[in-house]
A and B are shown apart, each in its own frame.
Chain A
Amino acid sequence: MTGEHQPRADEERREFREEAESLWRITLAPVTWVAHFVASYGVAAVTCAKAPGLLGAARIGLMLATLLALAVIAWLGWRAWRQWDYRNTGDYTNALGQAEDRHQFLGHAAVLLALISAIGVVYGTLPVLLLDTCR
């Protein structure tokens, strides 16, 4: 009996280990958001303190950074959407604790995180668009 179960348990462990990588991957969209947020605050603060004359250039740079961040998040979101595989399986909850469920669940979570990261980046860009002085 034990001999039959052992390989299957090993395989589960191996798949679980592989999934650890996509566990890291779900953090990438929020990390992009964080990078954009820190860059926005840092660039605005340093520009206004050291070189207010360059604020126009800094705003354009931050808007470009926004486009880049949104592109990265969109790409990550697209990959996560395919990992979730919702359109093929129609499975919303991934209730079974098997490797494939875990795989798709992590995709699901990454899609939602990509979505909220995109919203965060857009909200973070609104001050760049609407405030045009250091006052």
Chain B
Amino acid sequence: MKRTANGHHTARSSGRAGRVGPGMVLIVPTLLAGCDGRQSVLSPGGADARVLGDLFWVMLVGAVILWLLVNGLFFYVTRINRAALSRRFANGLIVVGGVVFPTVVLGALLTYGLSIMPDQRAPGEGLTLRVTGEQWWWRVEYWPDGADAPIVAANEIRLPAGQRSEVVLNAGRVIHSFWIPALGGKMDMFPGRETRMSLKPEAPGTWRGQCAEFCGASHALMAFEVVAMPPDDFTAWLDAQAASAAPPATEAGARGARIFAREGCGACHAVRGTDARGAVGPDLTHVGGRLSLGAGTLGTTLEDFQTWIAHTGEIKPEVEMPSYDYLADADLADLAAYLKGLE
């Protein structure tokens, strides 16, 4: 009895799966249309992502052709020509279709895959970025060619367009994975072990990167903006990043700087050129010039700064920074003005 019941159940569920099939066929093109955009492997902006995109399309088209061949053959022998095959033909089919053909196809794919691997791991042309995955943000160091000290930033990656830059990856406490789908493949980040990749954006543009290895409560909120700039603009930007923070230009900013010092923000955050030298959290020397807050979580309006400072833990669960929700709105506004002014 039980076996019959099980069998019945199996038949019913496979029937349901069969009904979903045609629906999926209609949905897939719609979903694919959503694959354009700034975080998609299917709209590459980098040399490495283009190679991977080509690989995807080759595999997809190849798989469709194979599917049609196998199912066409199946259809032919079960519906069109149901006569028994000759022994000789059947044996030939097994040897050619089952041994020679897969061996050649897999050999060709392996050769193709191996031939594109060296490009993915090609050395950089000068600039090296050291990116460390933290919970849940990105520590970023820029090492221009010949530098003996890094230019420290956070939560944003900027690259010179048309050049290959080396990216050396590490992690703080748990594993993460560094992934900019539009620029290249992903690479895991391990505490205490260096991994590396290189990226070559083909033209100036802005994309989004995302941590691709589960790393705790706010894993999904560990993202970053990626900006490829014309090389001259990039050099100018990097020089500006190397400079210390400019003193507050407004009265509100100056009040904000005092609140920043009073609340002890500098114990965790560095603002170069001030007494704030903490290295627990992101370097804020030029936080006002970044394109996102909280590692790709919020925008960068004054309101975003206030919201972030007052409701950190609600926005980003289990984050180490406390929520400064006891600060008066006026104080929060001054703090926001100070930080937004750190461009």
A130–B115 touching, CB < 8 Å: yes
Question: Which of these, B99, B110, B122, contacts A126 with CB under 8 Å?
Answer: B110
Q: Is the interface of B mostly helix, strand, loop or mixed?
A: helix
* Per-position 1/0 for B107-140, Cβ under 8 A of A: 1001100110110011100000000000000000
Please name all residues of chain B whose beta carbon is closer than 8 Å to the beta carbon of A130 when the two chains form the complex.
111, 114-115, 117-118
B114–A132 touching, CB < 8 Å: no
Please name all residues of chain B whose beta carbon is closer than 8 Å to the beta carbon of A131 when the two chains form the complex.
114, 117-118
Closest A-chain residue to B87, C-beta based? Answer: A92
B117–A123 touching, CB < 8 Å: no
Kindly state whether residue B103 has any CB partner on chain A within 8 Å: yes
Closest A-chain residue to B99, C-beta based? Answer: A115
Please name all residues of chain A whose beta carbon is closer than 8 Å to the beta carbon of B99 when the two chains form the complex.
115
Please name all residues of chain A whose beta carbon is closer than 8 Å to the beta carbon of B106 when the two chains form the complex.
123
Interface size range of chain B in the complex: 10 to 19
A119–B103 touching, CB < 8 Å: yes
| Cα(A83)–Cα(B146), bound, Å | 67
Please name all residues of chain A whose beta carbon is closer than 8 Å to the beta carbon of B196 when the two chains form the complex.
135
| Cα(A114)–Cα(B106), bound, Å | 18
> In the complex, how many angstroms separate the beta carbon of B165 from the nearest chain A beta carbon?
15
Kindly state whether residue A122 has any CB partner on chain B within 8 Å: yes
16 CB < 8 A contacts A-B: A92-B91, A115-B99, A119-B103, A122-B107, A123-B110, A126-B110, A127-B114, A130-B118, A131-B114, A131-B117, A133-B118, A135-B118, A135-B121, A135-B122, A135-B123, A135-B196
> Footprint of B on A, CB under 8 Å?
92, 115, 119, 122-123, 126-127, 130-133, 135
